[in-house]
Amino acid sequence: MAELLEVVLRVLLVIAAFLVLPLLVGQAEHKAMAHMQSRVGPMYAGGFHGWAQLVADGVKFAQKEDVVPAAADRTVYKLAPAVALLPYLVAMVAIPIGPGLVGQDLDLGLFFVLAVMSVGVLGALMAGWASANKFSLIGGLRVAAQLMGYELPFVLAAVSPAMAAATLSLTGIVDAWEPWWLLWQLPGLVVFFVAGLAELQRPPFDMPVADSELVFGPFTEYSGLRFALFLLSEYAGIVVLSLLTAVLFLGGWQGPASDQLGWLWTLVKAGLVAFLVIWARVALPRMREDQLQKLAWKVLVPIALAQLALTSVGAVMSA
């Protein structure tokens, strides 16, 4: 009975984190962009510092009509938002926040998280295909092409700290982490972060959705709560990317008083990474499609391979 209660408690904590953290990232993005770009709108709703902006957005999406195109594949069309969102919930189950604070500590935790995250592209493909709109379909194919290009450097960069720690367990990687890894694994950290931005179609890699030019790529025909789920999946992806970056490259809960405050160190590091994601949206212009592919294959992949070679040399010398 005690084991069952523990499992239920862990599941509830993961679901609570999944429901709260993406909303906090969304609220932080509203406020950060408002300050950086002198936007009045996000600072107005609710009075003090625009605290009710997120509530206003939720009410807006709930009030919009849920329209399904007449020629759409209704079943696939309705399933696509869930397919885009749920992989991040499953991924959070295996990402540790602190010593013992993990939904399920897996020996192959890194492999599991990377595999589950790659499923999210199916949501965009399903949305584009089922919308009965050729422009949505083209947007879905552009998303798939981008994710295929950046999956390789993303995975190669993630392998480097696992090789250094000699384990695929995310908890084991944090336990093996040393402060000097910040320099040793710095190229891999940069590649992982940049490739993660591209995987989430975040600026400056948001060409497939490019809301100011293409309406919203594969999600053009969506409205109301279904469209809100796609937006929520983007913020959930930022949370997973930030937590994974903190765990793999920044030492996770390593820090002063880690036994008591380890979870706080992980969240602080993840929060800093999430802020960089938001900052990139504000500060960097959108890249062209050819520039994006060149960056992946001519820059990030060679750097990731060089990082693996460097990690191999260090692992052999320290053995």
Phi, psi of 180 (to 5 degrees): -70, -10
Distances in Å between the Cα of 229 and the Cα atoms of 85, 97, 243 are 7, 25, 21
What is the C-alpha separation between 200 and 143, in angstroms, rounded?
Answer: 9
The pTM for the full model equals 0.93
Q: Are 41 and 31 in contact (CB under 8 A)?
A: no
Distances in Å between the Cα of 104 and the Cα atoms of 96, 162, 175, 251, 259 are 8, 18, 16, 19, 19
Residue 153 has pLDDT above 70, yes or no: yes
Residue with more model confidence, 215 or 264: 264
Residue 116 has pLDDT above 90, yes or no: yes
Report pLDDT digits (tens) over 132-145: 888 888 888 888 88
Residue 169 banded pLDDT, cuts 50, 70, 90: very high
Residue 262 has pLDDT above 60, yes or no: yes
- The alpha-helical segments, DSSP class H, found in the chain are 2-36, 53-63, 74-93, 109-117, 121-130, 134-165, 170-176, 181-184, 186-199, 211-214, 224-249, 258-283, 289-294, 301-318
Residue with more model confidence, 245 or 203: 245
Q: What is the CA radius of gyration of the chain?
A: 20
Check residue 140 and give its pLDDT: 87
Check residue 212 and give its pLDDT: 63
Cα 37 to chain centroid distance, Å, stands at 24
What is the C-alpha separation between 200 and 214, in angstroms, rounded?
Answer: 17
Paired residues of 101 in beta bridges: 98
What is the C-alpha separation between 218 and 187, in angstroms, rounded?
Answer: 33
Report pLDDT digits (tens) over 1-52: 778 888 888 889 999 999 899 999 998 998 888 888 887 777 777 777 778 8
Domain ranges of the chain: 2-34+66-318
Check residue 319 and give its pLDDT: 67
What is the C-alpha separation between 151 and 52, in angstroms, rounded?
Answer: 37
Check residue 93 and give its pLDDT: 93
Cα 310 to chain centroid distance, Å, stands at 27
Q: 204 preceded by cis ω (within 30°)?
A: yes
| Average model confidence (pLDDT) across the chain | 90
Residue 229 has pLDDT above 80, yes or no: yes
Q: Which two tokens stand for residue 266?
A: 């992980």
Check residue 107 and give its pLDDT: 92
Check residue 201 and give its pLDDT: 87
Nearest to 139 by CA among 219, 74, 235: 219
Residue 62 banded pLDDT, cuts 50, 70, 90: confident
Q: How many CB atoms lie within 10 A of CB 152?
A: 16
Check residue 211 and give its pLDDT: 63
Q: How many CB atoms lie within 10 A of CB 20?
A: 11
Check residue 30 and give its pLDDT: 86
